[in-house]
């Protein structure tokens, strides 16, 4: 038993073993992502399609016309490879295999990635910047999110915990605030569609979305590992976390962050390939699923503040224009506003990365502040 009264579950790995498994997942993911991205660059070079180029966009954006898309295939492959290989690496220790929570998160990301892939394929086939209709894409996202939302309330573990609860959460569940099943499904659908849309609009400059997601997902590696280390066992202690399969979620977050980093090797300016719809849908869905299964839906808004700001800039631009016939930004999403303000593309990207790092660090500070507040 730990000195603070918390007991580590018999099936848990020790801290060092768990960290090695997380690092192994990240290492596999980055290698697979880099290798697959390179393969896609060669394969798709002659199947280019207009993407990410808004009408009237800054001149540098039009280089996207010559850049192949669907690079998100490499990100998704890296995530799965890192997750599965990390489990194979500890199978000799007779540890449990992939968990229900981990598989549900990955299946949601994969289902949304399939929606993005279909969108990309239509763009490539038709050689245009428009793929699935907005309503068609939203319908597919809602179906995937609703199925995920229903399933994460099932599959109780040996301790009775399910992958998610119907409580609204900040850094953990707020006990006094819970919703019914229908309201919970609506919340899940809102989170999934919002985060996928936020990543999609952020993917407007070379390396911007991938770099931003490295920071956001990196923060979730820390959060999920801490939840694993401080998990409630048979004897609850102050500040412990009621989260099912936190180590599995840490493996997924680490693999996803590393896969984004591997993709960024080829996606940094000048990009050799774009992540496309499959990348933005996968990452947005994964981020939403992590926030739900770690019980940090509200905290995720801080961790992913750059994504939130990008999405809000589009919404505000539309609202202001429809009400006043004037524009709040020179162009939305607002990274284009800075381009039109004579910032170079690389300057915009690096400064947004800095903001992404600050928002991720702020989210972690709030997370740990809440934990130590519980310990008082």
Using the CB atoms, write b or e for 88-97: b if 16+ within 10 Å. eebeeeeeee
Residue 16 has pLDDT above 90, yes or no: no
* Per-residue pLDDT at 175: 85
* Per-residue pLDDT at 234: 42
Residue 284 to residue 276: CA distance in whole angstroms:
12
CA atoms within 13 A on the CB side of 354: 6
Flag the least confident range among 98-102, 155-159, 308-312, 372-376. 372-376
Residue 60 has pLDDT above 50, yes or no: no
* Per-residue pLDDT at 235: 52
- Is residue 119 within 8 Å of 277, Cβ to Cβ? yes
Higher pLDDT, 239 or 127: 239
The single-letter DSSP state of residue 271 is P
Q: How confident is the model at residue 233 (pLDDT cuts 50, 70, 90)?
A: low
Q: How confident is the model at residue 13 (pLDDT cuts 50, 70, 90)?
A: low
* Per-residue pLDDT at 332: 87
Write down the mean pLDDT value for the chain: 88
Residue 250 has pLDDT above 80, yes or no: yes
pLDDT digits over 297-353, tens only? 999 999 999 999 999 999 999 999 999 888 988 898 999 999 989 899 999 999 999
- CA 54 distance to own-chain centroid: 24
Higher pLDDT, 344 or 63: 344
Residue 53 has pLDDT above 70, yes or no: no
pLDDT digits over 89-98, tens only? 876 655 677 8
Scan for tokens 């019914």, then name that residue: 180
Residue 201 to residue 333: CA distance in whole angstroms:
6
* Percent of residues, the chain, with pLDDT higher than 70: 87
Alpha helices in 325-344 (DSSP H): 335-340
243-263 average pLDDT score: 96
Kindly give the pairing relationship between strand 173-178 and strand 167-169: antiparallel
* Per-residue pLDDT at 6: 55
* Per-residue pLDDT at 7: 52
Residue 288 has pLDDT above 80, yes or no: yes
Nearest to 223 by CA among 30, 35, 367: 367
SS (H, E, C) 65-90: HHCCCCCHHHHHHHHHHHHHHHHHHH
Residue 67 to residue 54: CA distance in whole angstroms:
15
| pTM for the whole structure | 0.91
Q: How confident is the model at residue 48 (pLDDT cuts 50, 70, 90)?
A: low
């Amino acid at each position: 038993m730990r000195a603070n009264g918390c007991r580590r579950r018999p099936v848990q790995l020790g801290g060092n073993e768990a960290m090695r498994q997380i690092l192994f997942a990240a290492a596999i993911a980055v290698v697979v992502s880099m290798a697959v991205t390179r393969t896609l660059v060669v394969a798709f070079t002659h199947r280019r399609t207009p993407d990410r180029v808004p009408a009237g966009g800054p001149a540098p954006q039009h280089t996207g016309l010559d850049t192949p898309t669907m690079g998100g295939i490499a990100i998704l492959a890296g995530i799965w490879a890192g997750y599965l290989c990390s489990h194979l690496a500890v199978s000799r220790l007779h540890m449990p295999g992939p968990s229900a929570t981990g598989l549900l998160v990955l299946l949601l990301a994969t289902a949304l990635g399939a929606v993005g892939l279909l969108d990309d394929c239509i763009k490539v086939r038709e050689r245009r910047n428009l793929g699935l209709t907005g309503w068609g894409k939203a319908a597919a996202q809602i179906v995937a999110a609703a199925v995920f939302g229903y399933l994460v309330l099932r599959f109780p573990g040996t301790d009775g915990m399910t992958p998610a609860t119907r409580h609204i959460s900040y850094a953990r569940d707020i006990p006094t605030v819970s919703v019914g099943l229908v309201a919970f499904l609506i919340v899940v659908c809102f989170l999934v569609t919002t985060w996928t849309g936020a990543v999609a609009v952020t993917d407007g400059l070379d390396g911007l979305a991938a770099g931003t997601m490295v920071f956001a997902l990196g923060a979730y590696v820390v959060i999920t590992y801490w939840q694993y280390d401080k998990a409630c066992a048979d004897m609850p202690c102050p500040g412990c976390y009621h989260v099912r399969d936190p180590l599995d979620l840490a493996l997924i977050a680490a693999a996803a962050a590393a896969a984004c980093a591997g993709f960024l090797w080829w996606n940094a300016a000048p990009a050799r390939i774009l992540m496309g719809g499959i990348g933005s849908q996968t990452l947005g869905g994964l981020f939403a699923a992590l926030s739900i299964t770690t019980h940090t839906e509200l905290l995720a808004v801080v961790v992913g503040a750059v994504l939130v700001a990008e999405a809000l800039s589009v919404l505000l631009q539309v609202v202001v224009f429809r009400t006043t016939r004037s524009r709040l930004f020179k162009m939305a999403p607002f990274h284009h506003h800075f381009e039109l303000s004579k910032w170079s593309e690389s300057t915009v990207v690096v400064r947004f990365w800095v903001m992404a790092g600050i928002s991720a660090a702020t989210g972690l500070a709030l997370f740990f502040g809440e934990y130590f507040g519980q310990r008082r």
